[in-house]
Copies of this chain bind each other. A is one copy, B any other.
Amino acid sequence: MAEFGAASENEPIWWYETGTDDITLGLRMRLLHRERTPYQLLEIYEHPFFGRVLVLDGNLQTTQGDEFIYHEMLTHVPLLGALPASMNDASVLIIGGGDGGTLREVLRHDWVRRVVMVEIDQVVIERCREFLGFNGNYDDPRVTLIIGDAAQYVAEEAARQQPFDAILVDSTDPVGPGEVLFTPEFIRNAWACLKPGGVFARHLCMPLFDGPIVRDGVARLRQVFPRVEVYQATIFTYVGAQMAFVACTKDGRSVREPQRLLTGRYYNPDVHRAAFALPTWWVTELIDAPAAEAGL
């Protein structure tokens, strides 16, 4: 089954994530599992500090040790910032998220009554349950898991009755296989899948190294959503460290102020508000850079 190679003897090896050609993050860890899924090369490693590590097509996706930062910030900022405290029947669409961490955070809210998760690669879900174990409960009666193409799902749902209060895109970077989740068509369909007060959120990579993705990403979203707010969190195992997220509302409301209180291991109401204070250069050189410079 698995294609174990030279690293299969369970000796720790140095594994490197590349930032630019001249920058790497190195982790010495043991390969536990390697498998070519129908969509990608999946690897699970064991690291002395960060615990189990998921790598897809050679890119670090998440680690047991710090996954909480990304998953809490992707989930709670949009859900608690955009949806009113009076809401008790929210419906949430998770796109991707095969490691299950976003699902876990969404399910913490008992006022979320329906969660649809669309992940293209069933093997990711299965191996993450087996090796990482931080996933949410797929057996929760609120959850519908769809193994399929999220771009197609959103295109079909767009013709229906605006079913979701929130869409969280928990995908790989918007280059390569994840690019389909960042086309203008996908964004328009996601917009159409939201109720009038709905919110759309995703990450926008690392501004330090991925400036064009941030510039183009914000510019594309602004063509569809009346309000596009960038926020940030620091995740050491992503090369660049300070990650940009974006939350977009259909009715133009701001998500900066949490409407309900929650404390996670990284997230808390102060962190929520503070996440929108951005380094000056992000704003002047990327987010509010002239559209011509954004390549549009």
Contact = CB atoms under 8 A, between A and B. Distances in A.
A22 B16 contact: no
Interface stretch (A98-106, A141-149, A247-255, A261-269): A261-269
- Report whether over half of chain A's contact residues are helix, strand or loop; otherwise say mixed: loop
Contact of A22 (B28, B265, B274): B28
A26 B23 contact: yes
A49 interface: yes
* Chain A interface size, under 10 / 10 to 19 / 20 to 34 / 35 or more: 35 or more
A208 interface: yes
Number of copies of this protein chain within its complex: 2
Nearest to A282: B266
Nearest to A283: B268
Contact of A265 (B20, B268, B276, B279): B279
A1 to B, nearest CB: 28
A49 B20 contact: yes
A242 B19 CA distance: 18
A24 interface: yes
Nearest to A47: B22
A62 to B, nearest CB: 16
A119 B25 CA distance: 32
Given A23-B49, A265-B280, 5 more contacts: A23-B26, A25-B26, A234-B241, A241-B241, A275-B277
6 contacts: A22-B48, A25-B25, A265-B281, A266-B280, A273-B277, A274-B274
